[in-house]
């Protein structure tokens, strides 16, 4: 297994800055523009609540006008919605997996070797 942690998911970076970076490009804004954080949080909330790519796409289509830009065509909006949903979902899956592993490790006796503790946790997992 490599120790190289080249992407934001592997580096354990937060979700919102990455969503803002993806959103910044089509809006023509710098990736650290503070106005993007509100929308990154909204997208994360939608995905956490079970929103689909279509829901994110609908949200994205309405974002352009407040920034003084014409509404994107359907293909651009759809691709942006897909990208934002997948970026957000990747971060959420990573966060959930990390939480679950931490829970499993806490439930195991600390004196046992990690390999044995993880094997026992896997056997008990639903």
* pLDDT, tens only, 42-86: 999 999 999 999 999 999 999 999 999 999 999 999 999 999 999
Residue 87: phi and psi, rounded to 5, are -60, -50
Banded pLDDT at 18 (limits 50, 70, 90) = very high
Compute CA distances 29 → 55, 68, 126, whole Å: 23, 12, 45
Specify whether the CB–CB gap between 90 and 9 falls below 8 A: yes
User: Could you tell me the two tokens for 37?
Assistant: 């954080």
Contacts of 111 (CB under 8 A, 6+ apart): none
């Amino acid at each position: 297994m490599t120790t190289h942690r080249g992407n934001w998911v592997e580096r354990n970076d937060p979700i919102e800055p990455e969503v803002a970076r993806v959103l910044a490009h089509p809006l023509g804004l710098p990736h650290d523009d503070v106005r993007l954080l509100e929308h990154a949080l909204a997208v994360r909330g939608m995905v956490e609540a079970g929103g689909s790519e279509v829901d994110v796409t609908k949200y994205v289509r309405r974002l352009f006008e407040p920034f003084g830009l014409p509404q994107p065509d359907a293909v651009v909006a759809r691709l942006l919605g897909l990208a934002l949903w997948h970026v957000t979902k990747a971060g959420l899956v990573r966060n959930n997996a990390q939480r679950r592993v931490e829970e499993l490790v806490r439930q195991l006796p600390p004196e046992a070797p990690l390999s044995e503790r993880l094997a026992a946790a896997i056997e008990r997992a639903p």
